[in-house]
Structure 1
Amino acid sequence: MRKTPTFLLFIFLSTSTAQMWSEDLISVQTNDNISEILEEEIPLEELSFIEDDIFTDEVDTQKIDVQNIANDETDLSATNMQNEKQRLTVDFWVDDRSDIQKFSQTYLSSKWSSLLKKDLDTAINYRLYVRKKIQEQHLPSILEYLPVVESNYKTTAKSSSGALGMWQFMSNSVKPFLMLNDYVDERLDPWKSTDAALKKLTDNYNYFQDWLLAIAAYNCGTGALIKILQKSPQKDYWYLVDNNLLPKQTALYIPKLIAIADIAENAEFYNIDISHRDEEFSTLINNENQFFDSVTVSKAYSIPQLAREMQIKSEELKKLNPSFVKNFTHPSIKSEIRIPIGQKETAEKALAKMEPIDFPFKYKVEKGDTLWGISRQFKVTVASLCELNGIEEKAILSIGKILYIPSK
């Protein structure tokens, strides 16, 4: 979720605000989850496209004929074969829009189609989970590609504004969707953040009763979009774009999404090597356990120690549990630890052998402090201090940094 306009700050709408909104704005349905507007507006900022700015004057603005298109490196025989392939029309496709066509031209190039394939293949497990949830909730299938626009499906992506994760949530926009505290940051969890993002998008749609406006609000902010619509004689996304009523980045946000979805869904038509992964998806929807098993704990347990007890790689367990930012579960709230499928019993036996971490003492680093000196002060090892705080033994401590001290 992008900070306005690149990332969305969740702004909830009060019932009173909805009532003040004139009836000709849009057909509004009240929603219990949209209960209040944050008082402070977030200023607009430039949209930084990940890896490069692909919407530049260097892009050829000639319109694309989708019935007869080929990459620069595609031979004539392959081009002729395209007429025999069926092109699917993706959600919200609009013919003859130059903004969509510019993004299409860019992503049909060898460089960008390769990057798109890499991003979609690298995140295949997350992507298929997104698709599964979209189908379960009967949402527009194009939303599977929204994480490409947000983060290139990178689970650790962080913007200069502080938006984090695959869906780019801001820290002050996580409630009531995700948990964020000293021990847990669920913005980093691709599964939980997917559930949260789809819930927010659904809330947006229930309010605006229009999917393009709902998606636009995910980018520029619900409150910002309301103000724009109040000044517009038409409550239509493309009207807002064509009349320069939207921030530039929001005006490009949906054309980019549509172009990416079109190319990914019609890769065979365009002679691009991007797989829809239907076979893997079929396996997923028939697999009750999906990707992992889980165990639940109510105290702080070390993730690296659990991995050692289970005799699996620590990185494997951390990848399944990215939200535990201190490498241990929450000290006082129930936590679900994901584990590889088939190893639930092994994990339960390992946890039975382990001692939970006592609620760690917090120490604020002062001038002159070193890890060795702090470890001597509290009679713990440097290794245990580093493991608990997720830092290297050679790390340089910054004044004011909070360190968690493990139990002796």
Structure 2
Amino acid sequence: MVLLPRILIFFLISLLVPLPGHFESREASADETPLPLLPGLEEAVEFWKLVFTRHGSSELIFHDAQEPMKIYKVLQVGENDPPRRLIEEEQGKILREYDLGRDEKRVRVQRGIKERFASGLRTSRKYLEQMQRIFLEEGLPTDLAYLPLVESSFDVHARSRAGALGIWQFMPSTGKKFLRISSAVDERRDPVESTRAAARFLKQNYEIFGNWPLAITAYNHGREGILRAITEVGSKDLMEIIRRYQSPSFGFASKSFYAEFLAALEVARRSEEFFPALDYHPPFPLEEIEVKRPVAIAALLKPTDIPRSEFLEWNPALNPNIRDIPTGYRVKVPAEKLELFLAAYQRVVEPSSVRAKALPVREGAVSWTRHRVAPGETLSQIAKNYQLSVEEIQQANGLASAHLIAAGRQLKIPRR
């Protein structure tokens, strides 16, 4: 296959992306469009359900790469990776026994991940409600919030060999387009910030490709790779691309990524059936305080009696070795700790303004709440209700006009 020049790739993207002003109709269809089980993917979905729910990490599944539910053998091994020689010997035996010729790629090996998937389900409940709200605010299917079950099993510290990090497994190059990444802060590890980034990224994918099967596959395989596939095959039908597109980089993992996601989604929806004894983590919603100037973590935590380890668990984006929280970082704290942290922040940043018995107006730190715009509601009415100026709400939400505001939109409301 001849690879497309980079300039042609960007030209194709420009043709596929809708013009400004057309996004609203596309967004509406995104909200209505289901995540369909495409004809021909049923077997792949059933295979991944077995991997997620029946086979543990000590089991290797030898299966047909073209017909994944054709399982030739399940081999019991230890937790460590078995020698490559052992796998090749087993593949050779299967090729001979089933008269498959010498094509070793025909017999694929998959380790079971039942324990890891169950752990991901348990942890997902901690963040899921907040994540689904983010997708809802972007006008996207809320079921997309389950994609980290496939990417990372909701492990905020998950890191791939290639350098992808966090529950959404952003590579540094992509992450920097949406998130703050520095020696002090890496928001790829923050489940809230990285979900906001993933929602924007998936929204762009949907705008480019026009359907969720391709948009989700592109999350794994890359936009340019899917554009090459569309150009070569002449279709934006995922099943056509799976059947006809030939590329060394478009292997089993990319071809089955959408099916893997659908399987994870089904198991999550029926989790009590597949994992009846699982002890789920309770929801853990967090409030945000935007730091307006650097503040020492130790000085902030000392008056609160909150262990540093607990604070870092709330804020996994922070480098655990830093002393100061950098300017602009949004500190995450549980709702019940919000006032305590605001008081501690002000005592550190503006000690002269703190009186003995009363906490003054929050000048140095900003926390946020959310407001959904009701039909007919104006920005001036909202500002009056929250005792803010129209300009403050405009600035917090990047609104160029105070008159163009859609019903149903979620606004960030600063609380000082």
Per-residue CA deviation, residues 253-278 of structure 1 (Å, 9 max, x unaligned), is 1111111111221345x55428898x
Partner residue of 2:190?
189
Give 5+ residue unaligned stretches, structure 2: 1-5, 22-33, 57-112, 351-416
Partner residue of 1:225?
226
Partner residue of 1:122?
123
Change (3 A) 1:166 1:231: same
TM-score, normalization by structure 1: 0.59
Indicate the structure whose relative CO is greater, using CA pairs within 8 Å and at least 6 residues apart: 1
CA contact (8 A) 1:150 1:166 kept: yes
Point out the structure with the larger helix share. Answer: 2
Alpha-carbon distance in 2 for matches of 1:12, 1:193: 29
Matches within 5 A, 1:233-382: 233-245=234-246, 247-248=250-251, 249-267=253-271, 270=273, 272-273=275-276, 291-325=285-319, 326-331=321-326, 333-354=327-348
CA contact (8 A) 2:46 2:263 kept: yes
Alpha-carbon distance in 1 for matches of 2:20, 2:151: 26
Partner residue of 2:45?
100
Partner residue of 1:29?
18
CA contact (8 A) 1:134 1:144 kept: yes
Matched residue of 2:200: which SS?
Answer: helix
Q: Which residue identity does 2:205 align to in structure 1?
A: N
Partner residue of 1:45?
none
Matched residue of 1:342: which SS?
Answer: helix
Point out the structure with the larger strand share. Answer: 2
CA contact (8 A) 1:149 1:256 kept: yes
CA contact (8 A) 1:117 1:273 kept: no
TM-score, normalization by structure 2: 0.58
Alpha-carbon distance in 1 for matches of 2:212, 2:240: 15
Q: Which residue identity does 1:265 align to in structure 2?
A: R
CA contact (8 A) 1:30 1:207 kept: no
| Equivalenced residues, count | 273
Q: Which residue identity does 1:109 align to in structure 2?
A: R
Matches within 5 A, 1:130-169: 130-169=131-170
How far has the Cα of 1:353 moved from its partner?
Answer: 4.0
Alpha-carbon distance in 2 for matches of 1:294, 1:152: 25
Matched residue of 1:293: which SS?
Answer: strand
CA contact (8 A) 1:296 1:335 kept: yes
Alpha-carbon distance in 1 for matches of 2:123, 2:146: 14
Matched residue of 2:295: which SS?
Answer: coil
CA contact (8 A) 2:158 2:169 kept: yes
Alpha-carbon distance in 2 for matches of 1:109, 1:132: 31
Percent identity over the alignment is: 24
How far has the Cα of 1:12 moved from its partner?
Answer: 11
How far has the Cα of 1:154 moved from its partner?
Answer: 0.5
Give 5+ residue unaligned stretches, structure 1: 1-10, 22-26, 33-89, 285-289, 357-408
Matched residue of 1:163: which SS?
Answer: coil
Alpha-carbon distance in 2 for matches of 1:13, 1:123: 40
Change (3 A) 1:123 1:262: closer
Q: Which residue identity does 1:134 align to in structure 2?
A: F
Alpha-carbon distance in 1 for matches of 2:162, 2:213: 24
